[in-house]
Structure 1
């Protein structure tokens, strides 16, 4: 199944546990996080969206959700080609202990994910069918299988499942996060 996604998730604990609990959106906090992520830009609130429909946002839109113990944002403007290039401002924007990055673009055969704990990069992988491995730092995570991540067609979906708790390829498990129950606020980024 072809899909694109970009997510940055900030959490104090296990983000999957927070998202499984269908957390309540803190709408005022979303604006504060959006302002920290896009300093100097004009942010116009343009409505609400569910996480399931926000994973591949237009280039000038950011979807932001702030909840007790977790914040998340979907925005291509924040997504570097290599996870280790995620800006310090983005890493520090929410002030939480753990930061997760997941991005995939099926047309390019690209998958990228990163994990930081207490400000230190724990794992970073970026692979693309064209040039191959763009970045590979840290020990592989449990969902990574095989020796050649470039030739692994299921890596993007398995990493989304392993890091965030749901799959886009229809391999729904009983304990999956339901992205259709996670509300976000949409902001158009101007300037």
Structure 2
């Protein structure tokens, strides 16, 4: 791999193309998260027989809205962070890896909880005498299902970003070096 020095920034040849692709890959989940968030926020339905329901009435859907909002904000910030050319440092690689992991699991948990709520809305739970709500609130259930599907598309994007950031971190930097201490316990020291 050829290395070139541009001003005070060291970068690999051809990395501007990779940097552009990664920036776009970081922006795409923002679009998905905002779309899922808007659909869920506008999801409400009123019937004459059973009253009204709103997505914000259910805790699982509230969590989905908050998680999508946080993920959209992170996607925008991380896209800006990767778009600005800088040298690759260990702390930068660890930061992206750490936050990519956290956001991946957060959006996965929100999608999973919401999928369970949607499932119960369609199928009900006879053991607790909870009948299916989608018979009466079909439009509400369709929008909630759409939002959950879009959220899982964002999960796939975040999983891809997690793989990219972990590959970048663990392929460019050496593992920590172990030094035995005087108490027989090894301690790891990172060297950059």
Q: If the length of structure 2 is used for normalisation, what is the TM-score?
A: 0.25
The structure where strand makes up a greater share of residues is 1
Question: Larger radius of gyration, structure 1 or 2?
Answer: 2
The structure where helix makes up a greater share of residues is 2
Q: If the length of structure 1 is used for normalisation, what is the TM-score?
A: 0.25
- Structure number with greater CO (CA < 8 Å, separation at least 6) is 1
